[in-house]
Chains A and B, each alone.
Chain A
Amino acid sequence: MSGFITALFDPTMPFVRNAALAGFLSSILFGILGSVVTVKRIAGLAGAISHAVLGGIGMALFLSVRGIVPGLPPIVGALIFAVIAAALIGVVSLKAKQREDTVINAIWAIGMSLGVLFIAKTPGYADPMSYMFGNILLVGGRELVLLAILDLVAIALVLAFYPQIEASAFDEEFATTRGVPVQAVFLAILTVTAVAVVLLQTFVGIVMVIAMLTLPAGTAGYVARNLAGMMVGATVLSWLFSFAGLALSWELDLPTGALVVTIAGAAFLGVAAVRGLKALAKRAGRRAEGRVAGQEAGR
């Protein structure tokens, strides 16, 4: 651990500091958006968008390397595909809810496949794997600024519209009867999620985005008393997981993204198991009590 701490403050290794800062800044997005996505039960939808993004990255690589659109950065392709995926899912979700599941999975699969096809036809070496898990050590100053801006947008939206977000996630029909524009709230959540997914996955990777949108929020949801508590808890947990993952990957020389996801997943499963055992014990206790009461009544 001391090796990592030394590296963190080593002026000749700014990339370690950037990675730690990126972990912190992305934690705020993971905490807020992850909680909203979890209680609104649209994690599958976020998963489809993040995987479809691979198609956009592949397309941008193909177009720029082939010289068709020279210098097209992968993030632009990613953004185009994210917006298309979000728009498709949004329309289907609002107009043909019964098809939502099929469409989400289709977008997920088609997006990834397009990415692989584009990358196969791109001269030179490009590894789809690097986009699945990203590389947090490659984060630069520009990305950090973008992340900070998106953090501020997410915080401002939640501060301004917390009641509307809470109500439309809890009971959409009732929220409508209170005049909440639930469709607009849904589309806003979808848009912010799509943009965040694009930005986050370019350096932490697709798998980590979807894991960090669901696992910290899911873990926090077990103990939080309300949505706000879940957001704060998920933010803290995301930051802990990404910091621990970064430090461990430095010490053990292992890929950061995969390590962060494993830590977050283990924490979630651990808390879920403890909760499950507690509930079982409680039920068994109640049954035993019932038996004793029954015996006493029978006497």
Chain B
Amino acid sequence: MPSMKATNTAAIGGSVSDAEPRSLAVSFERVAFSYRGVPVLHDACFHVHEGEFAVLVGPNGAGKTTILRLILGLAEAASGRVLVLGESPASARASVGYVPQHASYDPAFPISVEEVVRMGRLQGAWGRYKAADAGAVTRALGLAGVEELRRRPYNALSGGQRRRVLVARALAAEPRFLILDEPTANMDAESERRLYGALGDIKGKATILVVTHDTGYVSALADAVLCVGEHTGAGRGVVRHAAAPTNEAPGERFAGGALRVLHDVALPPDSCCGGHEAAR
């Protein structure tokens, strides 16, 4: 078994100082889920600590979107338990920011960037926008690097700009937990660099979970790599993998370094919380 002694502080391995237990942003406990009779998840167990930058990787169709929908409370587990910030997904919604992959977007819908971002301030069935929401919108536009687009019509933006506006929309909620579904799909290198630059600024202020089908490399910002595992017939599980710094991935893609996912090095699910087992 390879030693997971980190040669670079950015590497993700099994040895983590056993600090006091940190609270969890999300935890899956033996979660099973089927879609129209087809098992998707089986016995899925994983967790992400608050403040971490976690990446959930897996090939297309592996069930990443299902995991997202379970976290967002858009779907319900058949068995097992999903906790988000210690609560049920539906009750945690107010503290979660979500950046969808395919934001349904109608070019005939007249709306400004500012108004799209303001939607992040919505909470529930009642209530109109308040003056205080404007401040949060401005901060979110700044964090996502789209302040100069504020007054532009949303339908006049490029795809990359729209994606960053949707990041701002999620940030407008001032979330403790930010979830991004394939944030860089179909994005040019410059937009991708800007996006990861923004995520670097947000890291530490909120827990970040990025979902991607790129199973080879992840951003060096990542603290944890979670892979949607092999299909066992009963559905897939989620395995924590090690990752090591690499120069192979085009560095500009992630705005400051990439990690190669070591698919042959599975880490125990509790390796991040002082689990002392060596890498399996």
Which residues of chain A have a CB within 8 Å of any CB of chain B? 38-39, 41, 160-164, 166-167, 169-181, 184, 218, 221, 224-227, 229-230
Contact = CB atoms under 8 A, between A and B. Distances in A.
Q: How large is the interface on B (under 10, 10 to 19, 20 to 34, 35 or more residues)?
A: 20 to 34
Contact of A180 (B103, B118, B125, B173): B125
Nearest to A39: B109
B78 interface: no
B199 to A, nearest CB: 19
Contacts of B111: 166, 170, 226-227
A149 to B, nearest CB: 24
Contacts of A218: 108
The majority secondary structure among interface residues of chain B is loop
18 contacts: A162-B128, A163-B119, A163-B128, A163-B129, A170-B116, A171-B105, A172-B104, A174-B100, A174-B119, A175-B122, A177-B74, A177-B98, A178-B173, A179-B122, A179-B123, A227-B109, A227-B110, A229-B110
B72 interface: yes
A41 B122 contact: no
B37 interface: no
A225 B94 contact: no
Interface of B: 72-74, 93-94, 96, 98, 100, 103-106, 108-112, 115-116, 118-120, 122-125, 127-129, 153, 169, 173
B94 A179 contact: yes
A177 B103 CA distance: 13
Residue among A170, A173, A177, A184 with the highest chain B CB neighbour number at 10 A: A177
Given A178-B93, A229-B110, 14 more contacts: A163-B129, A171-B104, A172-B104, A177-B98, A178-B120, A179-B94, A179-B125, A180-B124, A184-B125, A218-B108, A224-B110, A225-B110, A226-B110, A227-B109
Nearest to B169: A174
B186 to A, nearest CB: 18
Contacts of B129: 163
B109 A169 contact: yes
Contact of B112 (A162, A169, A184, A225): A225
A171 B119 contact: yes
Contact of A170 (B73, B98, B119, B173): B119
Contacts of B110: 221, 224-227, 229-230
Contacts of B100: 171, 173-174
B182 to A, nearest CB: 14
A167 B119 contact: yes
Nearest to B133: A163
B127 A163 contact: yes
A221 B106 CA distance: 12
Contact of B122 (A38, A164, A225, A226): A164
A161 B129 CA distance: 10
A236 to B, nearest CB: 15
